[in-house]
Structure 1
Amino acid sequence: MARTVLGGGVLLCALSVVLQTRALTLLPHDVRPGHAVRHFVGNHSRYTLLDPEYAPYFTLLDDGLLMTTADLTPLLNQPVNLAILEQTPYSSAAHAIHLLVMDRRQMLQFTSGLLIGGIPENAPPGTTVDLPPIRATALVDVGPLAYKIIKGNENSVFSLRQKGKTDTNTEVMSVVTDGDVEIVANKPLDTETKSWYELVIQATDLHGVNKASLPVRVDVANENDHEPRFEQDVYYFIVNGTTDENGPNGTAHWPRFSNIGQVQATDADNDRVYYSLQTPSNLVVIVPQTGELILAGEPDTREAELSVIAHDTGIPQLKSRPAKVFLGFIVRDQRDLPVLHREKRRVTRAVRPTKRIEFTEADGEVEGRAVFTLEKETDRETFKIRDENPWVTVEPSGVVKVKKKWDYEELGPEKTIDFWVTITNAGNGGKFYYFK
């Protein structure tokens, strides 16, 4: 045991002396024969390896290439000093190479696997990416390390600099330092163009033998810098009414709760858009989630003008410029309508309050699974989903089932499943339920 400790102590002492020269070349123990260690280049020079002790492991070609010829495991953790003789027709010179064979797992490495950081959208050039410290380490002192981005830096969006310095030269390909490095942005970033970057940073000793790589993901945090925009500045809708023959002086009849039309806005930040009337009206209401305009009252003029606003869900919340909606109310005589030979019945329509029910992704794992049942106001009510939905189906009994396995990543920024349900009550027309 004493010999082992003493041997270890002597080895560490010898390494310390060698490493102080900054001329140590590290070799992984598992390099294959034929690995190039050093290439000497001279004018009409001839090179000879003078150390017979290491002849089984290394060879020196006539052109000055020093390479391995065998498994280096027997030399693990041993300092190797090779003497090289260079001869020319007129002179000769001696060269010394200091090598250390190390276990690859103990060589230069980053302490973490994947680093994930972020930077705000539209941040000015020179802004530092919010990341933990970036530094490669080794069990022995190999001197300053060179860091560079070797993958994922399209259009030179990022550069490296030594932590603590403020100057950044975007033309420098690598940073040489004993300390930490940081990633800085060379230009403002736009999350609508690219929302994240996957980089690879490589650290190398100055001999180019000892290398380590670190994957880094940089997320570009969205800034709500785009307000919603309507597809049209002005909308025109016609609402058809009929004269009521049983009413006084041909009173006009308007189908209350009928769908007049729909306005549509988009948001460049991909935020969810909601709609509202700039001035509340007793004549028309707007469905916030869809932009559908529904007739709620009786018009007292032949024309009406509304202003609608679109709001996004970003932070801070932004709203669009108002869009104008012009409504024209046209009265048709009952005699102009086709005759329908059927029993007259009273039809009413209503919109029930929006229901919001929260579930987890696991609740939608099994296709065909019943997740909840719609509430009936009477036993005669039947249900039908109004528009085709990729995630759920609705049975006439009101049972809502999983149609396709729910995928959290595909549900959009709001992570909701929105759908309308038509409720029919025999003899009493239809109602609508909106689920979220």
Structure 2
Amino acid sequence: MAAPSSLWCLGSYLILLALNLVMCDRVSKLHVPHLTPPDSVIITISSLAGKPSLVNQQELSGIFDLSDTEFKSKGDLSGFLGGTFDIIIKSDVHTSEQHHLLVKVDNSSKLFSFSHHQYFASVLENSARHTKLDVIGDLFVNCDTDVSLRFVFGTGDKFYVKRHKNGAKQGVEIYTNGPLDREKKDSYSLLLQAKSLKGKIAQTVIHVYIQDENDEIPEFNQTKYTTNIPAGLSVGSSVLKVHAIDKDIGTISYHLEGTTDFSINPISGDIILSSSSYSVSDYKFRVVATDQGGLKSSANIQINILPRKFKVYSSSSFVKTISQSIREKF
């Protein structure tokens, strides 16, 4: 009769041991959404007595924090979508009792938002209507249901938007409503808004830069340049300076047509006497400005050569000479 009693005692001990293990190794499950800073998930640890400690602290220290009563994610769990963390917490450093917390990062409950807070896009000026903008990065909304899209600021009716479904995402494409003139406006900042069927709203900023097309000819600040120089002027003397502007991006170069007695600095536009055998007469020729795209414009040049008996005065010296003549005469 002793054997059955011993077996009963052994069985009771094993049952109590199993119950104790179950009580000491409790398991909880928690699903949290995809979070981005500064958002986070906070779990209050109320079932543990004393100050809890994280057993696998080293393994999870870069992802989670544990305070006296709270277990908190550090925010960005985007790299762990669909992953599960087995977090082991002790109720006290001096006890063997452990609490398992299974945290699963839920891929299906991501925040309703654009993939980025801002984007950069470009389009060539004068592009035809319905030209698609080149956007850096993937432009989409985190939503697996239909969304409505509209610009709420900054377009001036220059752009419109389309969407296309791509799995759990809503892809976004931006198009022009007509040709754009970079010389009038070279960039736009657009505020794009997405609205879900449940009324949730997400916004992002699109920075659009208009790429230059060489469509503007250089323009001189005068259609005709006229100056007087004395006969006998030394070779290399600067006699006139011309200037042209180009509304397109790039530089301008100059050259002369119709003369060999004068030359021009192709960058500065300074016209220089290059011959000592010029005649006493008037010179008429053309200056041509060419931009980097090959577009050209021209202006007329007239240089009057004064005989040697004439003296060219500056305005101040001329007044001084006249004043002296008047005093000598009267």
- Aligned CA distance change for structure 1 residues 203 and 303 (closer, same or farther; 3 Å): same
Code of the residue aligned with 1:286 in structure 2: it is: I
1:237, distance to aligned residue in structure 2 (A): 1.9
Check whether the contact 1:196–1:217 (CA below 8 A) recurs between aligned residues.
Answer: yes
The aligned counterpart of 1:119 is 123
The aligned counterpart of 1:80 is none
1:288, distance to aligned residue in structure 2 (A): 1.6
Code of the residue aligned with 2:149 in structure 1: it is: Y
The aligned counterpart of 2:97 is none
The aligned counterpart of 1:190 is 181
* 2:28 matches 1:4: yes
CA distance in 1, matches of 2:125, 2:139: 22
The aligned counterpart of 1:128 is 132
Check whether the contact 1:133–1:182 (CA below 8 A) recurs between aligned residues.
Answer: no
- Aligned CA distance change for structure 1 residues 231 and 337 (closer, same or farther; 3 Å): closer
CA distance in 2, matches of 1:205, 1:266: 50
1:221, distance to aligned residue in structure 2 (A): 0.5
1:301, distance to aligned residue in structure 2 (A): 4.4
CA distance in 1, matches of 2:304, 2:210: 47
- Aligned CA distance change for structure 1 residues 201 and 330 (closer, same or farther; 3 Å): same
The aligned counterpart of 2:213 is 223
CA distance in 2, matches of 1:202, 1:337: 70
The aligned counterpart of 2:228 is 238
Corresponding residue SS for 1:179? strand
1:280, distance to aligned residue in structure 2 (A): 6.4
1:194, distance to aligned residue in structure 2 (A): 0.7
* 2:160 matches 1:159: yes
Q: Identity percentage over the alignment?
A: 24
CA distance in 1, matches of 2:206, 2:26: 46
Check whether the contact 2:152–2:191 (CA below 8 A) recurs between aligned residues.
Answer: yes
1:108, distance to aligned residue in structure 2 (A): 1.0
Corresponding residue SS for 1:180? strand
- Aligned CA distance change for structure 1 residues 310 and 163 (closer, same or farther; 3 Å): farther
CA distance in 1, matches of 2:291, 2:230: 33
Alignment deviations for residues 120-144 of structure 1 (CA, whole Å, 9 cap, x no partner)? 1001111111114421115xx5x21
The aligned counterpart of 1:25 is none
CA distance in 1, matches of 2:258, 2:202: 63
Corresponding residue SS for 2:173? strand
TM-score normalised per structure 2:
0.57
Code of the residue aligned with 2:267 in structure 1: it is: Q
* 2:254 matches 1:262: no
1:297, distance to aligned residue in structure 2 (A): 1.2
2:266 to 280, 285, 288: 288
Check whether the contact 2:259–2:285 (CA below 8 A) recurs between aligned residues.
Answer: no
Corresponding residue SS for 2:117? coil
Q: How does 1:404-423 map to 2 (within 5 A)?
A: none
* 2:122 matches 1:145: no
Alignment deviations for residues 278-313 of structure 1 (CA, whole Å, 9 cap, x no partner)? 3562x1111122211111212134122222110123
CA distance in 2, matches of 1:214, 1:330: 69
The aligned counterpart of 1:110 is 114
Check whether the contact 2:119–2:207 (CA below 8 A) recurs between aligned residues.
Answer: yes
Q: How does 1:308-319 map to 2 (within 5 A)?
A: 308-313=287-292, 316-319=293-296
By percentage of residues, which structure has more helix? 2
The aligned counterpart of 2:22 is none
Check whether the contact 1:285–1:296 (CA below 8 A) recurs between aligned residues.
Answer: yes
CA distance in 2, matches of 1:325, 1:2: 97
Q: How does 1:88-99 map to 2 (within 5 A)?
A: none
Check whether the contact 1:274–1:310 (CA below 8 A) recurs between aligned residues.
Answer: yes
The aligned counterpart of 2:6 is none
TM-score normalised per structure 1:
0.44
Code of the residue aligned with 2:214 in structure 1: it is: N
The aligned counterpart of 2:275 is 297
Check whether the contact 1:144–1:178 (CA below 8 A) recurs between aligned residues.
Answer: no
Alignment deviations for residues 326-368 of structure 1 (CA, whole Å, 9 cap, x no partner)? 222112338x699xxxxxxxxxxxxxxxxxxxxxxxxxxxxxx
Alignment deviations for residues 59-101 of structure 1 (CA, whole Å, 9 cap, x no partner)? xxxxxxxxxxxxxxxxxxxxxxxxxxxxxxxxxxxxxxxxxxx
- Aligned CA distance change for structure 1 residues 162 and 337 (closer, same or farther; 3 Å): closer
Code of the residue aligned with 1:329 in structure 2: it is: I
Code of the residue aligned with 2:203 in structure 1: it is: S
1:234, distance to aligned residue in structure 2 (A): 2.6
Question: What is the RMSD computed on CA atoms of the aligned residues?
Answer: 3.2
* 2:301 matches 1:325: yes
Corresponding residue SS for 1:304? strand
Check whether the contact 1:128–1:183 (CA below 8 A) recurs between aligned residues.
Answer: yes
CA distance in 1, matches of 2:243, 2:163: 50
CA distance in 1, matches of 2:164, 2:305: 69
Q: Which runs of 5+ in 1 are unaligned?
A: 13-27, 31-101, 165-176, 242-252, 339-436
